[in-house]
Chain A
Amino acid sequence: MDTKWKRSKLIFSFAAFFLGMTLFINSLLSVIGIAVSSGGAALDWQGTYQDTAAFRSCMADYLEVFLGIATGGKGWRSYGTAGQYGDSLAEGSSSEDLLAEYYDILSGTGGAIVQEKAETEWEYWPEAEALEESVVSVPQVEQDFQDWWGNYHDGYWSSSSEKSFMREAARNKNLRYAIVRYNKLLYTNIDGLKKQTGSLLDNLDFEEQLSPEEYNFILWFNKDDDGKTRIFRDGAELEIYGDGMYTPNKRWFVPGYTNFNVDRAAEDTVIFLAAAREPKLYVSGDYSEYGTGQYGGRLYSLYENQREAKKELQRAGILLGASLLLLLSAFFFRKDRRLAEAAVGRLTGKLWLEAKVLLFLILPLILGLSGVRRVLAGILSLLRYGTGALDYMQNACVSLFENRAAVTACFWLLYLWFLDRKANKGQQKKPLVTGLLTGDLALPVQKRMIRRYRLSLAVWLLIPALCLAALFLPARGYLGWAFSRHPLPFLFFVLAYLAFGAAGVFWLKKNRRLAEDLGAFFGQVDAVRNGDLTEPLILPEDTELAKVKDSLNAIQNGLETALQEKLRSEQMKVELVANVSHDIKTPLTSIISYVELLKQEEELPEHVKEFIQILGEKSERLKTIVQDVFEISKAASGQLPVEPENLDLGKLLRQTLADMDAQIRQSGLLMKVSLPEEPVFLFADGQRLYRVFQNLIQNALSYSLEGSRVFLTLKTEGSVALVTIRNTSAGELDGSVNFSERFVRGDASRTDGGSGLGLSIAKSFTEACGGTLRITTDADLFTVTTAFPVCQVSPGP
Chain B
Amino acid sequence: MNECVLVVDDDREIVRAIALLLEKEGYQVCKAYDGMGALRVLAEQPIRLIIMDVMMPKLDGLSAMMRIRERKNLPIILLSAKTEETDKVLGLSMGADDYVAKPFHPAELTARVRSHLRRYTYLGDINARQESDELWNGRLCYRPGERTLYADGEPVKLTATETKIVDLLMRNRGRIFPAEEIYERIWEEPSFSPENTVMVHIRHIREKIELNPKEPEYLKVVWGIGYKMEKIETHF
Contact = CB atoms under 8 A, between A and B. Distances in A.
Partners in one complex: yes
Interface of A: 581-582, 585-586, 588-594, 596-597, 600, 619, 623, 627, 630, 641, 645, 647-649, 651-652, 654-659, 661, 682, 684, 686-687, 689-690, 795
Given A589-B102, A590-B14, A596 B225 contact: no
Interface of B: 11, 13-14, 17-18, 20-21, 24, 81-83, 85, 102-107, 178-179, 193, 195-196, 198-200, 203, 221-226
A684 B224 CA distance: 10
A588 B101 CA distance: 12
Nearest to B197: A658
Nearest to A649: B224
Nearest to B226: A651
Given A582-B82, A586-B14, A597-B21, A623 B225 contact: no
Contacts of A656: 223
B83 A658 contact: no
23 contacts: A586-B11, A589-B81, A589-B103, A590-B14, A590-B17, A593-B106, A596-B21, A596-B107, A597-B21, A623-B103, A647-B225, A649-B224, A651-B178, A651-B224, A651-B226, A654-B193, A654-B196, A655-B223, A655-B224, A659-B203, A661-B200, A687-B223, A690-B223
A686 B222 CA distance: 7
A584 to B, nearest CB: 9
A375 B83 CA distance: 102
B14 A655 contact: no
A652 B178 CA distance: 11
A592 B14 contact: no
Contact of B105 (A582, A592, A649): A592
Contacts of B24: 600
A597 B14 contact: no
Given A593-B17, A690-B223, 18 more contacts: A590-B13, A591-B103, A592-B105, A596-B106, A597-B17, A597-B106, A645-B225, A647-B223, A654-B193, A654-B196, A655-B179, A655-B195, A657-B196, A658-B195, A658-B200, A661-B199, A661-B200, A686-B225
Contact of A659 (B82, B104, B199): B199
Nearest to A631: B83
Contacts of A651: 178-179, 195, 224-226
Given A655-B223, A658-B195, A627 B104 contact: no
Nearest to B222: A686
Contacts of B193: 654
Contacts of B106: 592-593, 596-597
Nearest to A682: B224
A156 to B, nearest CB: 127
Q: Which of A645, A648, A658, A661 has the most chain B CB within a 10 Å cutoff?
A: A658
Nearest to B18: A593
A655 B197 CA distance: 10
A656 B18 CA distance: 35
Nearest to B85: A641
Contacts of A627: 83
A654 B225 contact: no
Nearest to B198: A658
Contact of A654 (B85, B103, B195): B195
A589 B224 contact: no
Contacts of B104: 589, 592
B206 to A, nearest CB: 11
B224 A590 contact: no
A658 to B, nearest CB: 3
A386 B203 CA distance: 111
A540 to B, nearest CB: 50
A23 B223 CA distance: 76
Contacts of A596: 17, 21, 105-107
Contacts of B226: 651
A586 B196 contact: no
Closest 3 CB pairs of A and B: A647-B224, A686-B223, A658-B199
A684 B203 CA distance: 25
B81 A585 contact: yes
B200 A652 contact: no
Contacts of B225: 645, 647-648, 651, 686, 795
B224 A586 contact: no
Contacts of A661: 196, 199-200
Nearest to A795: B225
Given A586-B11, A597-B20, A658-B199, A592 B103 contact: yes
Contacts of B107: 596
B11 A590 contact: yes
B17 A594 contact: yes
A647 B199 CA distance: 18
Nearest to A693: B223
Contacts of A647: 223-225
A453 to B, nearest CB: 61
Contacts of B222: 686
A588 B226 CA distance: 36
A690 B224 CA distance: 9
Contacts of B20: 597
Contacts of B17: 590, 593-594, 596-597
Contact of A657 (B13, B83, B195): B195
Contacts of B178: 651
A160 B21 CA distance: 166
A655 B199 contact: yes
